[in-house]
Amino acid sequence: MSGIDGELSWRLADGGRSLDSGYKSAGHGIKTPIKQPADGSRLAPDNRAYNRLLRGLRWQGERGFAILIGRWKTLRHTTISPRRIGDIVAAALHLTHFEYKYLPESR
């Protein structure tokens, strides 16, 4: 692999999650953009490429969640435990896939 595909594989090889810069120090495995230096200088080309790759991945997750909360009003403002919300989101995702007739191949 080379170019952007190689860079993407190298940067996200550990299965990390991509978040926006508001999640600074979010924890192990969480990929956040590299911020602009405080002195106003430009980021190095590899750091700019890394940020561009994260943007390219993050929009997919944001779009998916927008579809879910647009369809399932209960997900908009929830007070449920963070431990249990995953099961509810998973159920909503499966129902949305069923509704859109996007079902994974049976194995």
Range scoring the smallest mean pLDDT among 23-27, 85-89, 96-100: 23-27
Which sequence spans correspond to the domains of the chain?
Answer: 1-58, 72-107
For the stretch 31-89, pLDDT in tens is: 788 888 889 899 999 999 999 999 888 888 888 889 899 999 888 888 888 888 889 88
In the block, tokens 């995953």 appear at 86
On the question of pLDDT at 92 being above 50, the answer is yes
pLDDT band at 98 (very low <50, low <70, confident <90, very high): confident
The Cα 45–Cα 102 span in angstroms is: 38
Task: Write down the pLDDT at residue 86.
Answer: 87
